[in-house]
Structure 1
Amino acid sequence: MSENVVIVGGGHAAGQAVASLRQGGFDGGITLVTAEQSLPYQRPPLSKAYLAGELPRERLLIRPSAFYEGAGIDVRLGIEATSLDAGRRSLMLSDGGQLTYDHLILATGGRPRPLSCPGADHPAVHYLRTIADIDAMRPRFVAGACIVIVGAGYIGLEVAAVAIKHGLRPVVLEMAPMVLARVASPEVAGFFENVHRGAGVDLRTGVAVSAIEDRDGKAVVLSTAGGRIEADLVVAGVGLLPNVELAQAAGIDCDNGIIVDAFCRTSAPGVYAVGDCSNHPSRLYGRRLRLESVHNAVEQAKTAAADICGNPLAYDQVPWFWSDQYELKLQTAGLSQGYDQVVIRGDMAKRSFAAFYLKDGRLLAVDAVNRPGEFTLAKRWIRDGKAPSPQQLGDDSIEAKALAA
């Protein structure tokens, strides 16, 4: 009897797992279970082109419905996995059904961290994670509206850029002393602050939301700085919580995500976890990581599928991310935490530069703004544990391809 795989999730990781299993020669049954009413779709465009109304819903799909039909996939839309019995290898579903499996891939992703202030349940408050989230906020996302964005990470700044482009009045509140506080240096953060303020964003750092009140259907946002902002729309982007409840209740090891090994295997036989919900060991950084990125989701899905197909290959990737804001493309390779030196290559004033982060002379990460060449090279250097000297890195007269690591 052939084996079967059940995949729980509806994002990049789930969609890639389906494709990689079939590409790897798996000819058993594959069932995809997702609580959403859509086939697996891309999430990065949600805060950009889809929010702006520039990308139709069907273009979000990672693969069209014909792919799943042709691959013989049993797709269960709008159905939640409610409980897991890892010993019996069975999964209970919200429609009362039950699935048994030989292999289970948990691609459950995460959910937005909710605001904890009084009034956080005001109808004008929205989060940004799913198609339904965007569709719900779009009636309020109109020219002339005041939008308060809580949090100045990638999501918050992307929403602010789209809001400016479409004639809204964005106010960004960030409790940290600078934007992108968890991921960027003060130099890079200062650059993006100047860009957004120059574009017309009312950007306030060191300010948190203390409460939200109602005034005739609008949200009045009270801040720790003492201000009151009357908003048509409030968008919260204050982090992501990994969806580990299904695994945790089944006795699977969890700690800031579902714990996996280098092959994306959990502590339960036959169960894998991939994408935003998983916590994996990193050879490059010598610690465990939980990453929220498309690249990580896709590559971990490939890793789990390869293991199921009998072709195990340890996950050993350089993390990378991107963000589009105005005409700027920020591409980040590696993780900068713990750096002791920043080398800027290029001209921030011309909006084309790369910030290299080093620790004891070793390259940890790069933030490249409109500099694809440096981004590509840095990924290779990080992977190989090499880098040019700081003097070479900072010398923009040397072409990127001529830099010697």
Structure 2
Amino acid sequence: MTVQNIVTVGAGQAAAVAARNLRRQGYDGRIRLIGDEPHLPYQRPPLSKEFLAGADTEDSLWILPPTWVTDHDVDIVTGTTVVRVDAMSRRVELEGGAAVQADAVLFATGGAPRTLAVPGPRPELVHYLRTLDDARRLASALRPGRRLAIVGAGFIGLELAATATALGVDVTVLESVPVPLARVLGPAMAAAVCRLHREAGVDLRTGMRINGIRTTSAGVLIDVDGSGPVEADAVVIGIGITPNTAVAEASGLHTDDGIVVDAAGRTAVSNIFAAGDVARRYSPRAGRHIRPEHFDNASRQGVAVANTMLGRDTISDDAPWFWSDQYGRNLQFVGAATGDPVVRGDVDAGEFTGFYLEGTTVRGAFAMDCGADITAARELLDRAVDVDALLDEGTDLWDLVYADIDEEAQVTR
């Protein structure tokens, strides 16, 4: 079947990158992105950092600048909700009764924040940070001397804590686990991130059990088990996201903590695909279905699924990579936090790379202000290394990369 009309359900990172790659690959059929937000596709990572701090404008967020959209004849339909896709005919049904026809449909519906019930007379004091409109509302609460409580110490919560602290806000972070980010980074590396925040003046409280949150005429009260209430002028709930699968479920697609797809982004239904935070994709690297939630993954899947829709199957199975900027420091992670971490550099000085090893095999790396190490670490993943050389700051990590390649070449000669 010749694909002449592609519709994306969702108009975020994965959808926008897919559209851009379709045009780059020479596809000249119709492309229509349908999103429920009233904005062009935009980048989410700056929302908790540069945009919230006032350093970036909205125009800097657009993934597809308006001139590009016009020049490349891409239709972007904003403020419109898709309610169902007829999987057999690929008829995309919109709220209000209208419908559009497609030859291929890409589900890129992303995720939505997990919410908490917060009773009280001032719901405007309760914030989430997922969308551009969320960031606009929150920015008005971040004024010097104000008190901000953040529930959840994941990367978004901690990025927000860093941004708010730099703006002169008094920040308290409440986290249920003993060491925030330990599940992602392992206890040792996560502890270094926590120390960074405490040294900056954030009241980071771990092992906290929250019994309830409510607003009052004066602000927000958070009832914490075993201690007095935490008072704040506003609260941000940052306890993760859930994949937006409602439209997929209404369309009869297979979902399981996301829309289940193969390694190339296909669902079980012909010419229906999924990418980004909503896609639970089979990973040959992991040997199972996974659903990473980060910008790089959405971008890479957008490129790959565009190729797949054009009949050139492409698998996006790079090792997970993400970054975060906090207090002027750059944090990066690649791979998996499995095995025992060994440290290259100075943890106390905040310039180091932790390599996660199983025996002498590199499985992952976390770096603080050592981004160049991560570039080399990507190439070292799943390779055995000389551990002493790895930890010696006098060793150029690329020598280890090339040494391994040279050894492989010697074997094949």
Q: Which interval holds the TM-score relative to the shorter structure?
A: over 0.9
Residue 347 (structure 1) aligns with: 346
Superposition deviation, residue 137 in structure 1: 1.9
Residue 227 (structure 1) aligns with: 228
SS in 2 for 1:50: helix
Residue 402 (structure 1) aligns with: 399
Indicate yes or no: 2:80 matched with 1:83: no
Q: CA separation of 1:67/1:95 partners in 2, compared to 1, >3 Å: closer, same or farther?
A: farther
Superposition deviation, residue 95 in structure 1: 4.1
Partner Cα separation in structure 1 for residue 239 and residue 230 of structure 2: 19
Residue 407 (structure 2) aligns with: none
Question: 1:19-68, CA deviations, whole angstroms, 9 ceiling, x for partnerless residues?
Answer: 11111111111111000111110000000011111111111101211111
Unmatched tracts of structure 2, length 5 or more: 405-413
Residue 379 (structure 2) aligns with: 380
Partner Cα separation in structure 1 for residue 49 and residue 265 of structure 2: 31
Could you tell me whether the CA contact under 8 Å between 1:42 and 1:61 is conserved in 2? yes
Partner Cα separation in structure 2 for residue 333 and residue 372 of structure 1: 11
SS in 1 for 2:184: coil
Partner Cα separation in structure 1 for residue 36 and residue 146 of structure 2: 32
Partner Cα separation in structure 2 for residue 378 and residue 248 of structure 1: 39
Residue 23 (structure 2) aligns with: 22
Unmatched tracts of structure 1, length 5 or more: none
- Quick one: percent identity of the two aligned structures? 38
SS in 2 for 1:62: coil
Partner Cα separation in structure 1 for residue 168 and residue 95 of structure 2: 42
Partner Cα separation in structure 2 for residue 284 and residue 121 of structure 1: 48
* TM-score of the pair, normalised by structure 1: 0.95
- What amino acid maps onto 2:394 in structure 1? S
Q: CA separation of 1:261/1:189 partners in 2, compared to 1, >3 Å: closer, same or farther?
A: same
SS in 2 for 1:51: helix
- What amino acid maps onto 2:283 in structure 1? S
* TM-score of the pair, normalised by structure 2: 0.93
Could you tell me whether the CA contact under 8 Å between 2:3 and 2:103 is conserved in 1? no
Could you tell me whether the CA contact under 8 Å between 2:8 and 2:15 is conserved in 1? yes
Total equivalences in the alignment: 401
Q: CA separation of 1:118/1:343 partners in 2, compared to 1, >3 Å: closer, same or farther?
A: farther
Residue 247 (structure 2) aligns with: 246
Indicate yes or no: 2:300 matched with 1:299: yes
Partner Cα separation in structure 1 for residue 61 and residue 346 of structure 2: 35
Partner Cα separation in structure 2 for residue 244 and residue 120 of structure 1: 32
Partner Cα separation in structure 1 for residue 283 and residue 121 of structure 2: 37
Alignment RMSD (CA, Å):
1.7
Please list, as runs of the form range in 1=range in 2, the aligned pairs for 1:259-278 lying within 5 A after superposition: 259-278=260-279
Could you tell me whether the CA contact under 8 Å between 1:13 and 1:300 is conserved in 2? yes
Could you tell me whether the CA contact under 8 Å between 2:176 and 2:208 is conserved in 1? yes
- What amino acid maps onto 1:97 in structure 2? A
Could you tell me whether the CA contact under 8 Å between 2:360 and 2:385 is conserved in 1? no
Q: CA separation of 1:303/1:165 partners in 2, compared to 1, >3 Å: closer, same or farther?
A: same
- What amino acid maps onto 1:344 in structure 2? V
Please list, as runs of the form range in 1=range in 2, the aligned pairs for 1:180-195 lying within 5 A after superposition: 180-195=181-196
Superposition deviation, residue 316 in structure 1: 2.3
Partner Cα separation in structure 1 for residue 226 and residue 386 of structure 2: 44
Q: CA separation of 1:209/1:123 partners in 2, compared to 1, >3 Å: closer, same or farther?
A: farther
Q: CA separation of 1:220/1:366 partners in 2, compared to 1, >3 Å: closer, same or farther?
A: same
Partner Cα separation in structure 2 for residue 48 and residue 124 of structure 1: 20
Residue 146 (structure 1) aligns with: 147
Residue 370 (structure 1) aligns with: 369
